[in-house]
Amino acid sequence: MHTLYILLFALGIYSSVGLIQVGQTSPALPCQIELPFTNPHISVFYKQPIVGIGCVTNLTTKTNQEVHVINLKKSVAVYRNEVAEVHLFVKSRNDEVLWEPLIIVLNSINPVKWRVRTEILAPARKKHIFVVRFYIRLNYQVPVSRKTK
């Protein structure tokens, strides 16, 4: 069984900000480091690998495909968005090649927008399958098959 890294991303960008002197007559203003940093124009993102819990069985599919279920238990709408947004990054561990496409089930009791990016080594023409509920939106950055239930 291949192990996947799953990284969740919050909205925003990670950046550092400094003040720039505009004119010769303006005195330079020092940049004060704030923790936590707050700015109306720049927000930081949180990136952390998480450890999940689960089990492994060979009774899921008739082929050697891996099935991964990701269940979002809580979701809160983000500023100016009508639904919560979750950024999901799925990557092969140690650059292993997956010969069969993955089946990834994305589940949430609340409406949520999943933004999925994958970096999985797989043969050409193999598409990963994402299973989502009808009210869940899925944006992805690789060609995939989409099934709703």
pTM of the model: 0.52
Query: Tens of pLDDT along the chain (149 residues)?
Result: 333 333 433 322 232 333 333 334 445 566 666 666 666 655 555 566 555 556 656 666 666 677 778 887 776 666 666 777 788 877 776 777 777 777 888 888 877 888 888 777 676 667 777 787 776 666 766 544 445 55
User: What does the angle CA 113 – CA 97 – CA 147 come to, to the nearest 5 degrees?
Assistant: 35
Give the model's pLDDT for residue 79. Answer: 67
Task: Give tens-digit pLDDT for 91-107.
Answer: 776 777 777 777 888 88
Task: Give tens-digit pLDDT for 54-64.
Answer: 665 666 666 66
Give the span between the Cα atoms of 87 and 3, in whole angstroms: 19
131-134 long-range contacts, CB within 8 A, separation 24+: 131/103, 131/104, 131/105, 131/106, 132/105, 132/106, 132/107, 133/107, 133/108
Give me 32's structure tokens. 């004060």
Give the model's pLDDT for residue 147. Answer: 53
Contact 112, 86 (CB under 8 A): yes
Instruction: Please tell me whether the peptide bond between 36 and the residue prior to it is cis, using omega within 30 degrees of 0.
Output: yes
Q: Which amino acid is at 116?
A: V
